[in-house]
Homo-oligomer: A and B are copies of this chain.
Amino acid sequence: MAVGIFDSGLGGLTVYDAVSKRLPDVPLVYFGDNAHAPYGVRTADDIYNLTTSAVERLWEAGCDLVILACNTASAAALRRMQESWIPPEKRVLGVFVPLIEALTERQWGDNSPPREVAVKHIALFATPATVASRAFQRELAFRAIGVDVEAQACGGVVDAIEEGDMILADALVRSHVDALKRKMPTPDAAILGCTHYPIMETAFQEALGEDVRVFSQANLVAESLADYLARHPKMLGEGTESLFLTTGDPAKVSRGATQFLRRKVEFTKA
User: Which residues of chain A have a CB within 8 Å of any CB of chain B?
Assistant: 38, 41, 128, 153-160, 163, 165, 167-168, 171-172, 175-176, 178-179, 182
Contacts and interface: CB of A to CB of B under 8 A. Distances in A.
A156 B128 CA distance: 9
A158 B159 contact: no
A214 to B, nearest CB: 20
Given A155-B160, A160-B155, A178 B172 contact: no
B165 A179 contact: yes
Contacts of A163: 153
Most chain B beta-carbon neighbours within 10 Å: one of A168, A176, A182: A168
Contact of A182 (B154, B159, B167, B176): B167
Nearest to A41: B41
A153 B167 CA distance: 15
A132 to B, nearest CB: 10
A165 B175 CA distance: 11
A155 B182 CA distance: 21
25 contacts: A38-B41, A41-B41, A153-B159, A153-B163, A154-B156, A155-B155, A155-B157, A155-B158, A155-B159, A155-B160, A155-B172, A156-B156, A156-B157, A156-B176, A160-B179, A165-B179, A165-B182, A167-B179, A167-B182, A168-B175, A168-B176, A168-B179, A171-B171, A171-B178, A175-B175
Contacts of A167: 178-179, 182
Contacts of A156: 154-157, 172, 176
Given A155-B159, A159-B153, A175 B171 contact: yes
A154 B172 CA distance: 10
A248 to B, nearest CB: 15
Contact of A175 (B38, B128, B172): B172
Contacts of A175: 168, 171-172, 175
Contacts of A168: 175-176, 178-179
Nearest to A173: B175
A208 to B, nearest CB: 16
A159 B176 CA distance: 12
Contacts of A176: 156, 168
A156 B176 CA distance: 10
Q: Which 7 A-B pairs have the closest CB atoms?
A: A155-B156, A156-B156, A171-B175, A41-B41, A155-B159, A168-B179, A155-B155
Q: Which of A38, A175, A182 has the most CB of B within 10 A?
A: A175
